Amino acid sequence: MAKTVLVTGAASGFGRGVALGLASRGHNVIAGCQIWPQVTELRNAAAAEGVGMQVIKLDVLSEIDRKNALEREIDVLFNNAGIMESGPMVEIPMSVFRSVFETNVFAALELAQGFARSMVKRGSGRIVWTSSVAGLVKVPFDGAYAASKHAVEGVCSAMHEELKPYGVEVLTVNPGAFRTGFNDTGMESMDQWWNQGERVVEHWPVRELDRQHDPAEMIQAIIDVIEAEKPAYRTIRPASAEEMVRKEQAAVWERHA
């Protein structure tokens, strides 16, 4: 059965792939993009593919945009918009750290709260959050992003139990490293401020991002979660990432100073 799905962060990456994929499968998709040029570009891309969907401006940090989005009645919120900022915890500017939480946690929660209220009143609905493998393990030099996704995990875990009695489902999808460009620019981001002050630790080693996976795998997994009647609470891809998470979480109990 066709669902009405709002996708945040639909201009690129997983959001774009999921929005176009769901629309091509007959769902009523509302694709949210951060800035107007992205709205125009995605509308044109959808038309070129012969896919019908509504594309709106939705900067999740904008109260005006959030209120505009919350006027719509939807079956599923795909809470996907996010940013990544890198840097060692002892050096990262607090303004940068706060910006990650503003987008990945606070703005996402405001949207989730707004739609959840409507869903509770009618007794049905699904909220799917893009978390990350980084929300489940340690990620040195990406601590701000990882911390925000750990926060997302805490929010979702609580919301899942709180809203379940009202017929509202809360689920997470946890991507590993995929070739969307998100990780590449996130790793580069610290260079914007690194030379603007004295540093007491070394710049992190340059890592070659040559083992990222085809995003089509994650996009299909997210579509499956949105469409499935009884999806798992957590969906991690690729399978190797799930194995790594399970091993690292077990190893934490043996960690020492």
> Which residues are tagged catalytic?
145
Q: Residues 6 or more apart from 255 whose CB is under 8 A from it? A: none
Q: Is 89 strand, coil or helix?
A: coil
Q: Is 96 strand, coil or helix?
A: helix
Could you identify the residue written with the tokens 């992190």? 204
Task: Determine phi and psi for 45, rounding to 5 degrees.
Answer: -65, -40
Task: Determine phi and psi for 70, rounding to 5 degrees.
Answer: -70, -10
d(CA 136, CA 245): 7
Rounded to a whole number, what is the largest CA-CA distance in the chain? Answer: 58
